Chains A and B, each alone.
Chain A
Amino acid sequence: MSVNPILCDGFGHCGELAPDLVHMDEWGYPIITTVPVPLSNLAALESARYAVRGCPRQALRIDRVPDPA
């Protein structure tokens, strides 16, 4: 996932909906893991989708990254 930092207003919904992928910094803004998560991890994918949909500013996006393997 990546966030548009201009649109982001630090609501923190993403941190609640996808706690394994997103942590909040001390000012309430998201730090998103840069490690790619395989599509087979359905729980993570679902949480990411919830986070994208749950963002009040629609600041999040799911990025597809080619498999390094």
Chain B
Amino acid sequence: MKTKKHGPTAALLSVLLPGAGQIYNRQWIKGIFLLALGMVSTGYFLTVLPKAIRGIVTLGDVPSRLVEADGKTVSIPGDHSINLMIQGLIVLFLFALYVLFYANVIRDAYRTGRDRDSGRVPADFRHTLIYIHDFKFPQAMLVVPAAGILFLTILPIVFMILLAFTNYSSPHHIPPGNLVDWTGLDSFAQLFRLKSWSGTFFGVLGWTVLWAFVATATTFGCGLIVALVLSQKEIVLKGVWRTLIIIPYAIPQMISLLAMKMMFNGQFGPINQYLSHFGLGRLPWLTDPYWAKFTVIVVNVWIGMPLSFLLVSGVLSSISAELYEAARVEGAGRWQQARLVTLPFIFFALGPVLIIQLAGNFNNFNVIYLLTNGGPTNPNYQFAGHTDLLITWLYKLTLNNNIYNIASAIGIILFIIIAGLSIWNYRQTRSFKEEEMAQ
């Protein structure tokens, strides 16, 4: 007796022409749909894929040139390296999706064929939809969000990572006038070794680290103190106090920071006005390197303290009264109770959040950008000021100075710092949890 071999036949047909296997399996609607999609996309990739790959590999090889025509000099545009790169990336991303689609069509044709071999009738279009609804529901839900993330988040990040390995920078390598080339690790070498860049880089990095630690510690410390004071049982109207204290957190940062910038204005701002009113003289809040650093820290406390306050208050309310009772029985006074019960409890509960805030402060763009815009400018720095963080420096380098390769190298370094902190934090939290379970 001859057994039918629908499985391999259908699979082979779909290898040759996606969708053909489905039609062979008598799944008409699905087959025709896949066939049309497959033909259109195969045709598309046959024409664009070679060009896209060449574009990414060479980043263009025809420079723009001046041509004499009728006594006039006309500029003929050459290859636009950056557009080539991004178009190439788009095509490659689409191609990856196409390969995935192709593989699934073949697998589907094979499986349906195999089912036919064992005597089952292939599902018609309605049943295919029912199958998707019953068994592929999450995947179907994720199609649109995933596509968006692929093209609006992953593709841009890949693009920017690639830029770090080119010489895409002003003034000599800006398309369409000039070509951009792959230069390997040159941008990193410049950043670390070339005096003018490395001086700025290490200077800005040092301030970024200092800022991150001081900003996190001051906001948390102040939040902690306010929460402890408010938690005393003698204080009445706790809800009202709480609401008043967290107002700065609720005001949009963009607005409060712009207002602060005006408040600390050296000439007309109210702060200096009060100072001179009391005969104390005006202070260069935002224009002197040291005062500017002080001001951004203080303003950051204003913005960040309420959140720490809320977090600490949340933990305080979860500490059981029995712990304090036990401490009191042992003869611990008010301070000892705070030191032995409250503080360890808070740090244990909020440790991970503190690390997240630390990581967030590395990238605290708003406070610096809106308040000082990195200024006052530092003449020894490359395009950076005294209060610039790595993130605001990166921003200036891309949008004001068009030095993309260095900027994206900085971005990669920032990513490594943040990712390192986060992974370490995650490990710590997990081991904490395991400890808790062991007890």
Q: Do A and B form a real pair? A: no
**Chain B residues proximal to chain A, CB less than 8 Å:** none
**Chain A residues proximal to chain B, CB less than 8 Å:** none
